[in-house]
Structure 1
Amino acid sequence: MDSARILLFIGLAMHASLLASGNQYKVVCYHSNWSRYRPSPGTFTEANIDPFLCTHLIYAFGVFDDNGNITPHELDWEFPRYVAFNEVKLQNPNLKTLLAIGGWNFGSIAFSNMANDPVKRKNFVDTSISILRDYNFDGLDLDWEYPVQRGGAAIDKDNFVTLCKELMIAYTAEADSSGKTRLLLTAAVPASRANIQAGYDVPELNNYLDFFNLMTYDFHGGWDSTTGHNSPLYASPYDSGDYAHFNVNDTAAYWHEVGVPKNKIIVGLATYGRSFTLSSTSNFGVNAPASTGPAGTQTREAGFMSYYEICNDMQTGGSVMFDDTMQVPYYVNGNVWVGYDDENSLRIKANMIADYQYGGMMIWAIALDDFNHICSTSTRTFPLIKAASEVLNPTGAAPSVDPVVPGDPTAAPTTTTTTTTTTAPATGSSNTGFCANRVDGFYANPGSCESFYNCYEGQTYLTNCPSGTLFDESTNSCDWEISVKCNTPLIRK
């Protein structure tokens, strides 16, 4: 048995052992407080939250004043939503809720000033405990974007550690004195190596944070002059220099390399895409000349589209392409180009998380999935989150786990050949009838070794094997090309 096959079976055994022990991968979902102001059908309030969708639910965002006192965001002043948010735990007592402080729009300067002042830090710590306990939160999520950057100071790197240390000491003491479960302390952290190196003393932070939420998205967008994917699993051949690290796989591996245990690494998954306007409709691939794309009709931000806006737009036409190197799809309709994730690509990413035994997945954001089931390609509400979650925490619903990719998922792809294949607009049941009257499971695609059929309750799901691998009928898994006898022509050859 070769080393790749050994690693495959070890990974499967570890995953099975984890599930058998009753432990769960974390499914950490952010709820944005501004989503309730979107026009219908994008309006999302606490009433739209599925209490059983996630293991951890984070309210974004709270803020703090010039003295470090935590306060509700201005969007929450008129009607504080914290009570309604935490009432979801009445239906699911196992759900953990956290309050996120900060965010991109809040900036870095206020954090820098607060963290550099012992009095303001104490105010921040004290008010965090009172607000979290008063409103029945289970913890705090720090969204400082980012220490040292965006007007911050060099001392931020040390001060962020100090802030986390003082918070953890206070939370531990409060739990000891009250007899309550200690409040959780987490942080949303960047994907850029430059930001990580500049602002994060990772080994020290690891002493005080319960887990790290990796913001592994926004790798490319309208700020670039060419098309690029929002959240590629692996690097594109067009990525060079620092951009070669702008992908989910590399970022997760790097956070582990610099000091975070795998079980504390929560890998970020996006339920939205970044849109571009192509300079020419005749050049529509990855790295094509482009500028910022259109806004979604509900999310109303240039170059940004929720999944429900993307899949709804697909109903008007266009083509979906799947990039076998990056392992993600993109959508082209006229001069509009969108790099996004669908059910298939999120299952692939979830398998990477399981294979490498990271702590779980983080979702930005629940209000951007097809929560209203407005798309004809969706078979249920929250299709993206559920597809990925079922890979990590199977509950007996749909067995949506793709075959595990052999070998170390943090290694670089074994081929640099760019392959683009046209697939259905979104992963879901096809009309081929292949799985009719077949037992649930994985089956070879007679037309191509590069994909396979996943049959469940008579429904047919066509899925591509990751780049460099082919479907092996003898093991019902995707294995390295050299190990598989294939009798069909290979498109990517």
Structure 2
Amino acid sequence: MESLSRHFVIGLFAILVSACTAAAHAASPYRVVGYATDWTTQQAAALENIDALIFAFAKVEGNDVALPGDAPERLAKLVALKRAKPALQVVIAVGGWGAGGFSEAAATAQGREAFARSAAQLVKAHGADGIDVDWEYPGRSDAGIAASAADRANFTALLKALRAALDASAGEERHYTLSIAAAEGSFAEGIDIAAVEPYLDWFNLMTYDFVNSTTPTTGHHAGVYPSSLAPSGARSVDGAVREYLAAGVPSRKLLIGAAFYGREFGEVTPSHDGLYQRYERYVTEHSWPEIKRDYLGRNGFVQHHDAKAQASWSWNARTRSFVTYDDPASIAAKAAYVKAHGLGGIMYWEQRHDPEGELVEAVRSGLR
């Protein structure tokens, strides 16, 4: 009997701890939102730390929003998670880098209506909770997609039509969310930020890829602030947030981005341990498990942290290789920034790059 009582107390304590953890998450004013192309049982531990998953990606086909290939099956895995966590939101992202069709669909009232109607139908048919528009980017053809000077006004009109269609489909009993993936600086010139804000529940600021295969030097690809070594006008989380706040976006609608992957550069000029130096070759991207396994104090790499930029990198002096990434330390700095500026939370790309949920836990822990 004494053993049974002890087991009962232990079990009750575990239930109370679990309930308190869930209550703390529910009461948190900050959101953790992750993009996900798929879901595996290996990722189950991360679920308790996530408020919303954004499925990547639906595409624009003609003027309609549709799920290509095996996307319906992958989306269904995310929606099924709501059985284990009813409060979880599952949002369908449309687009992504290199995904076209937006400029053409948004160019006419008929095209916008078809886009909006089909997107709302898709949400309802698959038991999802909203739409995230990932047009990268209005007015720009960098990704090999069609672009027009009219995209700026048409983007606003498209979101207005989409907001109306989602509201009509949801009825009075619920609310379907509408968000966008957005960047800053020249990437935001094709958006009338103040005009689109009323239609959106939040902005996913893609505060990563600040350096990549197209930039002339290495650097922090997801730094909170500019490094002291960065050139004038260098991109940063702080710069992006300030631009959107100045445009009139309420701080709570801004979610800053964390990168669950890093970028490697080769044959780098060795000054300053490779930081903001010229390179001969862009190598590739690495997921967080790869970074931990091969680049954190391993294989000749030495880890560094830039206190001013609040960003980490690894440098191999022998091979002249440079890797930039987010890690638990830089994510903690982003969480502190969110709380200091009253932002809405943190979003990240993407779930498969953090299969054990270590970085998701760092996000949630930092936002507590």
TM-score above 0.5, yes or no: yes
Map Cα deviations across residues 88-122 of structure 1 (whole Å, 9 max, x no partner): 11100000010000000214xx1000001222211
| Corresponding residue to 2:285 among 283, 300, 304 | 304
Match of 1:239 in 2: 230
Matched, 1:69 2:60: no
Match of 1:206 in 2: 197
Structure 1 residue 137: deviation in Å?
A: 0.4
Structure 1 residue 32: deviation in Å?
A: 2.2
Between the aligned partners of 1:181 and 1:140, the Cα distance in structure 2 is: 14
| Other structure's SS at 1:387 match | helix
| Corresponding residue to 2:336 among 347, 351, 372 | 351
Between the aligned partners of 2:290 and 2:351, the Cα distance in structure 1 is: 14
In the superposition, relative to structure 1, how do residues 237 and 23 fare at CA in structure 2: closer, same or farther (>3 Å)? closer
Match of 1:141 in 2: 132
Between the aligned partners of 2:265 and 2:96, the Cα distance in structure 1 is: 24
TM value normalised by structure 2: 0.86
8 A contact 1:104–1:145 mirrored in 2: yes
Match of 2:123 in 1: 132
Matched, 1:185 2:178: yes
Letter of the aligned partner of 2:361 in structure 1? K
| Other structure's SS at 2:199 match | coil
Letter of the aligned partner of 2:110 in structure 1? V
Matched, 1:228 2:219: yes
Matched, 1:194 2:186: yes
Matches within 5 A, 1:40-79: 45=40, 48-49=43-44, 50-66=46-62, 68-76=63-71
Structure 1 residue 330: deviation in Å?
A: 0.5
| Corresponding residue to 1:218 among 182, 191, 209 | 209
Match of 2:12 in 1: none
Matched, 1:30 2:35: yes
| Corresponding residue to 1:363 among 348, 353, 361 | 348
Between the aligned partners of 1:324 and 1:173, the Cα distance in structure 2 is: 49
| Corresponding residue to 2:364 among 369, 385, 389 | 389
Between the aligned partners of 2:269 and 2:186, the Cα distance in structure 1 is: 33
Letter of the aligned partner of 2:59 in structure 1? V
Structure 1 residue 231: deviation in Å?
A: 0.7
In the superposition, relative to structure 1, how do residues 268 and 280 fare at CA in structure 2: closer, same or farther (>3 Å)? closer
Structure 1 residue 47: deviation in Å?
A: 6.3
Structure 1 residue 293: deviation in Å?
A: 3.5
| Other structure's SS at 1:330 match | strand
Q: Cα RMSD (Å) of the superposition?
A: 2.0
| Corresponding residue to 1:313 among 275, 294, 300 | 294
Structure 1 residue 23: deviation in Å?
A: 4.2
Match of 2:21 in 1: none
Letter of the aligned partner of 1:135 in structure 2? H
Matched, 1:257 2:257: no
8 A contact 1:221–1:229 mirrored in 2: no
Letter of the aligned partner of 2:326 in structure 1? D
Between the aligned partners of 1:235 and 1:282, the Cα distance in structure 2 is: 18
* Count of residues in correspondence between the two structures: 336
8 A contact 2:274–2:320 mirrored in 1: no
Between the aligned partners of 2:274 and 2:323, the Cα distance in structure 1 is: 11
Structure 1 residue 325: deviation in Å?
A: 1.6
Matches within 5 A, 1:84-483: 84-107=77-100, 110-150=101-141, 151-176=146-171, 179-191=172-184, 193-196=185-188, 198-243=189-234, 246-280=235-269, 284-294=273-283, 303-314=284-295, 315-333=298-316, 334-369=319-354, 371=355, 381-392=356-367, 394=368
- Bigger Rg over Cα: 1
| Other structure's SS at 1:232 match | coil
In the superposition, relative to structure 1, how do residues 205 and 319 fare at CA in structure 2: closer, same or farther (>3 Å)? same
Map Cα deviations across residues 297-337 of structure 1 (whole Å, 9 max, x no partner): xxxxxx31111111110343420011122111111133221
Structure 1 residue 236: deviation in Å?
A: 1.8
| Other structure's SS at 1:58 match | strand
Map Cα deviations across residues 206-254 of structure 1 (whole Å, 9 max, x no partner): 11011000000000123223221111111123333432xx001111121
Letter of the aligned partner of 1:54 in structure 2? I
TM value normalised by structure 1: 0.65
Between the aligned partners of 1:339 and 1:21, the Cα distance in structure 2 is: 33
Match of 1:483 in 2: none
Match of 1:475 in 2: none
Match of 1:428 in 2: none
5+ residue gaps, structure 1, are: 1-18, 34-43, 295-302, 372-380, 395-493
In the superposition, relative to structure 1, how do residues 169 and 312 fare at CA in structure 2: closer, same or farther (>3 Å)? same
Structure 1 residue 75: deviation in Å?
A: 4.8
In the superposition, relative to structure 1, how do residues 280 and 242 fare at CA in structure 2: closer, same or farther (>3 Å)? closer
8 A contact 1:174–1:182 mirrored in 2: no
Letter of the aligned partner of 2:127 in structure 1? N
| Other structure's SS at 2:359 match | helix
8 A contact 2:266–2:322 mirrored in 1: yes
Structure 1 residue 280: deviation in Å?
A: 4.8
8 A contact 1:224–1:291 mirrored in 2: no
Between the aligned partners of 1:55 and 1:82, the Cα distance in structure 2 is: 16
8 A contact 2:260–2:326 mirrored in 1: yes
| Other structure's SS at 1:311 match | helix
Map Cα deviations across residues 413-452 of structure 1 (whole Å, 9 max, x no partner): xxxxxxxxxxxxxxxxxxxxxxxxxxxxxxxxxxxxxxxx
Between the aligned partners of 1:251 and 1:391, the Cα distance in structure 2 is: 20
5+ residue gaps, structure 2, are: 1-23
Relative to its length, the structure with more helix (as a share) is: 2
